[in-house]
Amino acid sequence: MSTFETLTRNNSSQRGKTWFITGTSSGFGFLLAKYLISLGANVVATARRADVLEELEASAPAQVQRLALDVTKPAQIDAAVKDALARWGKIDVLVNNAGYGLTAAFEEAHEDEYRPMFETNVFGLIQMTQALLPHFRERRTGNILFLSSIGGLVGLPGWAFYNSTKFAIEGLGEALGAELEPLGIDVTIVEPGPFRTEFLGTSGKKSQKTIADYEQTAGKTRAYMEAQNGKQAGDPQKAVEAMVAAVSAPKSPRHLVLGALAYNRFQQKLTSFQDEMSQWKEVTFGADFPGVESANPYK
């Protein structure tokens, strides 16, 4: 048995648990829902159009509740949470999966292109999580997954606005995890690399404006999207199995990097970051008042 198979062996523990998933119409959200159904879990499957989830619900009507949910609309969030709790009585896991990307050089993107992405990727995630936190706190148990990206750990040309939404999720997840840990609630930030979902296809958007000076940076990213869609190294089925393994573990990880490319790219950043910190250490320490040691309030 491989190490991966060993780690996912406990996934059967999700039988009877209820998962609330945003963005279930395709990609990780859809595959996660299908996998959970096979494990015997209940799934609250949500999408902006509930009709696209008819087939999923029909495949296991006793386990699936499909709901219309646009995470940028607070009233729909509240209604979906109310309906889900009315049917199942409890939610064990929230998966903040809804989101999309925008490829553009920083100067190329217009507010009408990047602001809606922030509304979905960041503010929608915040409102969705806040809507379920009272339920998790009352039960003193639960898991919350934030679908971030390697783009939340490493910034690259052409992804400035997408990177900033995912970097925001990293900070939110780390802070929220620290706040909820004493209450018995786990937060896991998932950071996939390139996987064969629709991220580079229908889920990826490009700015209308292009500037020739950025062809060697953002332009290469656009070319990458066109050339690599469907050729990514990551297996999305294994990714969703890994997510369930993180929830099923005795102690869920705060971060779950998925895929060799993501792992290696982040390792390179860590090494470069450490080198830069060492080179500038004297300047860093010199910024303090002499002889004064700052207290850490969180020890």
Question: Are 146 and 125 a contacting pair, CB within 8 Å?
Answer: yes
Question: Are 44 and 97 a contacting pair, CB within 8 Å?
Answer: no
**Percent of the chain predicted with pLDDT > 90:** 81
Categorize the per-residue pLDDT at 212 as very low, low, confident or very high, splitting at 50, 70 and 90.
very high
On the question of pLDDT at 7 being above 80, the answer is no
End-to-end CA distance of the chain: 41
Lowest mean pLDDT, pick from 4-8, 163-167, 240-244: 4-8
Pick from 4-18, 118-132, 190-204, 229-243 the range whose average pLDDT is largest.
118-132
How confident is the model at residue 219, as a pLDDT? 86
Supply the pTM of this predicted model.
0.93
More confident site: 226 or 124: 124
Average pLDDT over residues 91-97: 98
On the question of pLDDT at 231 being above 70, the answer is no
3-state secondary structure of 185: strand
How confident is the model at residue 143, as a pLDDT? 98
On the question of pLDDT at 225 being above 90, the answer is no
Tens of pLDDT, residues 110-155: 999 999 999 999 999 999 999 999 999 999 999 999 999 999 999 9
How confident is the model at residue 198, as a pLDDT? 67
3-state secondary structure of 269: helix
Task: State how far the Cα of 166 lies from the Cα of 191, in Å rounded to an integer.
Answer: 9
Q: At residue 168, what are phi and psi to the nearest 5 degrees?
A: -60, -40
Q: Which residues are catalytic?
A: 162
Query: Residue 262: which residues within 8 A CB-CB, separation 6 or more?
Result: 150, 153, 191, 192, 193
Task: State how far the Cα of 4 lies from the Cα of 2, in Å rounded to an integer.
Answer: 5
**Percent of the chain predicted with pLDDT > 70:** 93
3-state secondary structure of 109: coil
Task: State how far the Cα of 32 lies from the Cα of 37, in Å rounded to an integer.
Answer: 9
Task: State how far the Cα of 266 lies from the Cα of 273, in Å rounded to an integer.
Answer: 10
Tens of pLDDT, residues 161-199: 999 999 999 999 999 999 999 999 999 999 998 876 766
- Give the start-end residues of each E strand in 73-226: 93-96, 101-103, 142-147, 185-192, 204-206
**Domains located in the chain, CATH noted:** 3-284 (3.40.50.720)
How confident is the model at residue 220, as a pLDDT? 84
